[in-house]
Amino acid sequence: MPKEFRRDVFQAIADPTRRAILSMIALQAMTPNALAEHFDTTRQAVSKHIKILTECHLVRQELSGREIYYHFNAKQMKEVDQWLEQFKKLWEDRFNQLDDVLFNLKPNDYED
């Protein structure tokens, strides 16, 4: 794979195992072995997931002695946040419309 190749962030987070890995290392840096303990799969399978997350820069590695620790790169999630932003306004508008409809459906307590 060429060095300039960059995986798509959306493909990376589409996988539930990779999302779980991101959630764990967002709380604290972890080694591949520590991550693998949380999954019912091989360490090699977890390492492949970590490789994909690293290739799209969602995680970065840091060598500490003989251990490699993986850290969450929150800045890279900006691409996801920017894409989702277009939908936030739409959702807010629809929820506000629903609130208006529900409010108008309430019986008026002051009518006889």
Residue-wise pLDDT for 15-66, tens only, equals 999 999 999 999 999 999 999 999 999 999 999 999 999 999 999 999 999 9
**Any idea what DSSP says for residue 6?**
-
Comparing C-alpha atoms, which of 19, 21, 60 is closest to residue 37?
Answer: 21
Instruction: Write the pLDDT tens digit of every residue in 53-97.
Output: 999 999 999 999 999 999 999 998 888 888 888 888 888 888 888
Per-residue CA distances from 78 to 32, 54, 57 (Å): 25, 16, 12
Sign of CA dihedral 68, 73, 76, 77: positive
- Which amino acid makes up residue 42? T
For the chain, how far is it from start to end, CA to CA, in angstroms? 76
Q: What pTM value is reported for the model?
A: 0.73
